[in-house]
Amino acid sequence: MTTTTTTPTVAVWKFASCDGCQLNLLNAEDELLDVAKAVTIAYFPEATRAMQDGPYDVSIVEGSITTPEEIERIKHVREISGKLITIGACATHGGIQALRNYADVEEYTSYVYASPEFIDTLETSTPISEHVHVDFELRGCPVDKYQLVEVISAFAQGRRPRIPTYSVCVECKRAGNICVPVAQGTPCLGPVTQAGCGAICPSFNRGCYACFGPQDSQNCHGMADRLMALGMTTEEMTRAYRTFNATCEPFQAESLRHERARKAGAEEVEA
């Protein structure tokens, strides 16, 4: 099938993920039909049987790389794409399935599957950027639908997306929330986490759990010291930094530091 339109062609791809980030494109109910006019949705299997062959001007990639087949497929996607945008914590940081990176995958496979020999998987879950060049990464678990529409619009217009890289605290102050760690002693990872969600957890009276990954100028070490002063243990610190963005450098360094401390049986973690 060929297109006679001059609007940019967009393809949406899925790797290991929960579908939630591409669902957020369908969840942009007020914008969806307008987006479909501004760009040509050329390949989006979750939404349509009509699948145009590449190349595509923009590819949107959800999910992480967890199998040998996915490594080959992402290389092919890169070859047939003008720009490649990754969306969501799986694509940008390996996702929750990257918890295997800290474990024995063989043991994992035999725990979940009766016939592990049928399962073909890599020992790690890795971000797309570890395999091919990525033009823009949109954070979040899941991504925010307004940020997603902004990124697609920006690429359709050939400009840089306006996505802030400051912390959740900025959004939280703007929302007029009372600071949950200061006022209630509730552990909160907002200071080290990138904005974008609208500070929803503190708005719901709970601490941020860092689903948008690290902000630009975070101090994860200092954050951990503060949280431990609020009563968190080394085990809890390891788990707090080891969720949906567990492979990103600042979170990984902290989770490993606390894991080493726990294994050493030390009362205090190394400085």
Partner 1 sequence: MSMQPTSERTLSVDVLARVEGEGGLHLRLRNGKVDDVKLNIFEPPRFYEAFLRGRAMTELPDLTARICGICPVAYQFSACLAIEDACGVTVPDSVRALRRLLYCGEWIESQTLHIYMLHAPDFLGYAGAIEMAKDHGAAVERGLSMKKAGNALMTLVGGRSVHPVNTKIGGFYKMPSVQDMKALRPAIAQGLEDALETVKLVSTFEFPDFERPYLYLSLRPEEGYPIEGGRVVTSRGDNWDVQEFTQHIEEVHVAQSNALHGLLDGEPYVVGPLARYSLNFDRLSPMAQQAAREAGLGETCYNPFKSIIVRAVETVEAFHEALRIIDAWTDGLEPSVPVVPRVGEGFGATEAPRGVCFHRYKIDETGLVTDAQIVPPTSQNQPSIEADLRELAQEWMWMSDEDLTLRAEVAIRNYDPCISCSVHFLNLTVDRG
Kindly list the residues in this chain that would bind partner 1 in the complex (CB under 8 A).
14-24, 26-27, 29-30, 32-33, 36, 41, 44-51, 66-67, 69-70, 95-97, 99-100, 103, 105, 107-109, 111-115, 118-119, 121, 125, 141-142, 197, 200-201, 203-206, 209, 211, 236, 239, 243-244
Least Å distance, CB 134 to partner 1, is: 20
Structure token pair of residue 229? 């002063």
d(CA 209, CA 102): 20
* Closest distance of CB 63 from partner 1, Å: 9
As measured in angstroms, the least distance from the Cβ of 9 to partner 1 is 14
135 within 8 A of 151, measured Cβ to Cβ: no
| CA-based R_g, the chain, Å | 20
Cβ proximity to partner 1, 158 vs 176, nearer residue? 176
What is the spatial distance between Cα 162 and Cα 11, in angstroms, rounded to a whole number?
21
Residue number with CB closer to partner 1 (1 or 271): 1
The amino acid present at 44, given as its one-letter code, is F
Closer CB to partner 1, residue 52 or residue 129?
Answer: 52
Whole-number Cα distances in Å, 216 to 26, 147, 153, 182, 236: 29, 17, 24, 22, 24
Q: How far is the CB of 202 from partner 1 (least distance, A)?
A: 10
Residue 148 Cβ vs partner 1, minimum distance, rounded to whole Å? 11
Relative to beta strand 81-87, strand 40-43 is unpaired
* Least Cβ distance, residue 89 to partner 1 (angstroms): 9
Contacts of 89 (CB under 8 A, 6+ apart): 95, 96, 139, 140, 141, 211, 212, 213, 244, 245
Rounded distance between C-alpha atoms, residue 167 and residue 47, angstroms: 34
Nearest distance from residue 160's CB to partner 1, in Å? Answer: 26
Where b means 16+ CB within 10 Å and e means fewer, 41-77 reads bbbbeeeeeeeeebebbbbbbbbbbbeeebbeebeeb
